[in-house]
Amino acid sequence: MDEPSPSHSEQWRPRILRLRMRARKAAPFASGVLAALLAVLLYSRLVPAPRPLTPQEVNEAVAQALASATPPPTFSARVYQAIRPSLILIQTEAPGTDGEISYGLGTGVVISQMGDILTSLHVVAGASDIQLSFADGTQSQAQIVAEQPQNDIAVLRALQPPALVIPAILGNPKAAHVGDEAFAVGNPFGLYSSMSAGVISGFDRTFELESGDQTLHGLIQFDAAVNPGNSGGPLLNRNGQVIGIVTGILNPVEQEVFIGIGFAVPITVAGQAAGLPAY
């Protein structure tokens, strides 16, 4: 005998039970959301919003931050640090006309990995002994390996160079302008590794050497202080690049003091004595 079919209400009872179970599961989530909203509302009532800063407070905070910041080094300090490892003190001995030994002083700068040193020819001309002092304290005798008399340039090489030779970075004087910063580093009056600052005063200047038998052309004029002992030293731009080799000062009086006009051979010319390409 066939069993009686279930009624319509009995057919939907499992589905209704399942819907009730889902509703019961959703109830805790809804109550959690409501509790979170109430907590946020209560926090906003009990804890006031932060007060906006006044303009004076903002300025004071900025001033404190700037006061605690370390300022960057000046251009001159960076130039000096760049050229210092490449600077050379040159001391010479030469027989005088009266049979006594005369002593000379000048500056040089390393310009190649091979240790080639540029200086002024008049610093080492006629010397029987050339003594070099490097930045690391190394001392060595030197010999002249090349000369450029028409530009008062000589190339020296140390007989016993230091283990590490650091050449200077060469710049392009053709990219410089009147009024650009100029820095001279050398050994004025034997004051080792002294620096002076000024500007480029002109280009393509002419200068007659103290001997009076030679005139130099195409020189850079500058007003950074240089004195005896600076000859042969580097003239640098604000990036610490060598743009010239100091060769002399214009002085209408008998005393060898600086009056504001110095001259340098462009490095594009002086470097050719050491075999550097023209640029």
The confidence score (pLDDT) of residue 184 equals 97
The closest alpha carbon to 274, from 185, 170, 173, 204, belongs to: 170
For residue 145, is pLDDT > 50?
yes
DSSP 170: B
Strand partners, 185: 195
Average pLDDT over residues 81-101: 92
Of the given ranges (57-71, 123-137, 231-245), which has the lowest mean pLDDT? Answer: 57-71
Of the given ranges (33-47, 176-190, 198-212), which has the lowest mean pLDDT? Answer: 33-47
CA gap 141, 146 in Å, rounded: 16
Tokens representing residue 137 in the block = 């304290």
Task: Judge whether 133 counts as a catalytic residue.
Answer: no
Average pLDDT over residues 149-163: 96
Which residue is catalytic, options 112, 122, 196, 201? Answer: 122
Average pLDDT over residues 163-188: 96
Q: What is the DSSP string of 213-228?
A: S-EEEEEEEE-S---T
Contact 92, 129 (CB under 8 A): yes
Placement of tokens 């589905």 in the chain: 15
CA gap 214, 208 in Å, rounded: 6
The confidence score (pLDDT) of residue 241 equals 97
The confidence score (pLDDT) of residue 19 equals 45
The confidence score (pLDDT) of residue 117 equals 98
Placement of tokens 């009532």 in the chain: 45
pTM over cut 0.85: no
Q: Coil, helix or strand for 272?
A: helix
Q: What average pLDDT is seen over the chain?
A: 85
Task: Judge whether 201 counts as a catalytic residue.
Answer: no
Q: Mention every residue, 6+ apart, whose C-beta is less than 8 A from residue 105.
A: 89, 90, 91, 92, 123, 187, 189, 190, 228, 229
Q: Which residue has the higher pLDDT, 41 or 184?
A: 184
Q: Beta strands 215-222 and 117-120: pairing type?
A: unpaired
pLDDT in tens, 223-262: 999 999 999 999 999 999 999 999 998 876 666 678 889 9
For residue 15, is pLDDT > 70?
no
Of the given ranges (7-16, 164-173, 241-250, 265-274), which has the lowest mean pLDDT? Answer: 7-16
For residue 97, is pLDDT > 60?
yes
The confidence score (pLDDT) of residue 212 equals 66
| Residue 171 phi, psi (nearest 5) | -110, -175
CA gap 185, 243 in Å, rounded: 12
Which residue is catalytic, options 112, 133, 140, 152? Answer: 152
Average pLDDT over residues 2-8: 51
Task: Judge whether 152 counts as a catalytic residue.
Answer: yes
CA gap 236, 202 in Å, rounded: 15
Q: Quote the Cα angle for 146-148-150, to 5°.
A: 165
CA gap 30, 28 in Å, rounded: 6
The confidence score (pLDDT) of residue 16 equals 46
pLDDT in tens, 196-220: 999 999 999 998 877 667 899 999 9
In this prediction, residue 13 has a pLDDT band, given cuts at 50, 70 and 90, of low
In this prediction, residue 1 has a pLDDT band, given cuts at 50, 70 and 90, of very low
The confidence score (pLDDT) of residue 173 equals 96
Percent of the chain with pLDDT over 90: 61
CA gap 140, 161 in Å, rounded: 7
